[in-house]
Amino acid sequence: MADPSGPAVVTTSLRKTYRTFSGRKVVAVENLDLTVPRGGVHGFLGPNGSGKTTTIRMMLGLTRPDSGTVELLGQPIPRALPAVVQRVGAIVEQPKFYPYFTGRENLIQLALAIGVPRRRVDQVLEQVDLTGRARHRYRTYSLGMKQRLAIAATLLKDPELLIFDEPTNGLDPAGIREVRGTMRELAGQGKTVLVSSHILAEVEQVADTVSIIGRGTVIAQGRVDELLAARGGASIRVGLKMSELASGLITLQTSGFATRVEGAHIVVSGEADPSEVNRTLARSGIFASELTPQGGGLEDLFLELTAGEVTGGNVDPAPRPAGGGEAR
């Protein structure tokens, strides 16, 4: 019997490659060791193409890994899938609902199809805060409401573990807030919510723990507060005239600041004092047009850990000039 307080998901040395039509081998996931604790919201984060969907598909037994293992709720996948499937709800692709049925009618159809009592429908509508619109046609729903209905559908079986692949993709800020609120509520009800996203800053606000992947492998994992605390202070964005960017960079580096270039800006990280940065530049006759302290969130952490080597999606680091990066 699996330990009920053990991790919700564990993957060990997971690897998956694809062959493209031209015969090229694409390594989608490599050496992926992931641990998702039981309870709370876990953000599975990484830029587009970093291997999140492939990993989730392997977790759910939809794709077979080339090597490595997956355990869901302490059970090996795919072997124990028939036993575990009742305890897991997932949104991997956008579910199809009938546009001219109400949200409630759609869920009743689904409940009948999967053998769940009809009374569950009103309960799950309540859980995602859709009771007030339950008798309106699906086609009149906002994208946020459509996504919450999709979440409600996954709740019909009352699963312990919910896996959502990019659930806020394409939503406006209001929809994102709604879905975020729903995820927090589900975690509050004792469920484990694993949510993937390429927008690190967005999930940072809702997740208790995260794993950050780049090029198919985990590069950081743990509690959000601990990861951010371990990272040290926030960074400072320095705006300079394009013609002074190179000399500004050399000036800051030779004065011992940890720097990287992002587009037309220099980012000074670590515990730097903005007035000290300003003074250092001014001493060399360089005057900053902008000195902006930055939050020092997960996105910055990602950029630091990968030092601009991983690109894609929302995380789009500019290339570093030779020797211009900060030590890890």
Ligand X SMILES: Nc1ncnc2c1ncn2[C@@H]1O[C@H](COP(=O)(O)OP(=O)(O)OP(=O)(O)O)[C@@H](O)[C@H]1O
Q: Does 17 bind ligand X (CB under 6 A)?
A: no
Shortest distance, position 210 Cβ to ligand X, whole Å: 14
Contact 57, 77 (CB under 8 A): no
Contact 173, 180 (CB under 8 A): no
Cβ atoms < 10 Å from Cβ of 156: 20
Q: Shortest CA distance to 239 belongs to which of 289, 279, 283?
A: 289
Contact 261, 249 (CB under 8 A): yes
Q: Does 51 bind ligand X (CB under 6 A)?
A: yes
**40 vs 51, which CB is nearer to ligand X?**
51
Shortest distance, position 142 Cβ to ligand X, whole Å: 23
Contact 37, 8 (CB under 8 A): yes
Contact 194, 42 (CB under 8 A): yes
Q: Which one among 8, 9, 14, 28 touches ligand X, defined by CB under 6 A?
A: 28
Shortest distance, position 56 Cβ to ligand X, whole Å: 8
Contact 171, 179 (CB under 8 A): yes
Shortest distance, position 315 Cβ to ligand X, whole Å: 11
**166 vs 326, which CB is nearer to ligand X?**
166
Question: Site map for ligand X, 189-228, x if CB under 6 A?
Answer: ---------x------------------------------
Integer CA distances (angstroms), 133 to 111, 117, 125, 140, in order: 18, 21, 9, 10
Q: Which one among 7, 49, 239, 296 touches ligand X, defined by CB under 6 A?
A: 49
Q: Does 46 bind ligand X (CB under 6 A)?
A: yes
Q: Does 50 bind ligand X (CB under 6 A)?
A: yes
Q: Shortest CA distance to 222 belongs to which of 214, 231, 233, 232?
A: 231
Q: Does 174 bind ligand X (CB under 6 A)?
A: no
Residue type, 272: A
Shortest distance, position 95 Cβ to ligand X, whole Å: 17
Q: Shortest CA distance to 158 belongs to which of 131, 115, 194, 120?
A: 120
**7 vs 49, which CB is nearer to ligand X?**
49
Tokens of 38: 């039981």
Question: Site map for ligand X, 84-123, x if CB under 6 A?
Answer: ----------------------------------------
* ω into 78 cis (within 30 of 0): yes
Residues near 291 by beta carbon (within 8 Å), at least 6 away in sequence: 236, 237, 238, 239, 274, 277, 278
Q: 215 by DSSP, 3-state: which? A: coil
Q: Does 42 bind ligand X (CB under 6 A)?
A: no
Binding segment toward ligand X, per CB under 6 A, in 47-55, 74-82, 263-271, 316-324: 47-55
Q: Total binding residues for ligand X by CB under 6 A?
A: 14
Q: What residues between 52 and 81 interact with ligand X by CB under 6 A?
A: 52-54
Binding segment toward ligand X, per CB under 6 A, in 50-58, 103-111, 174-182, 262-270: 50-58
Using CB under 6 A, list all residues that contact ligand X: 18, 20, 26, 28, 46, 48-54, 166, 198
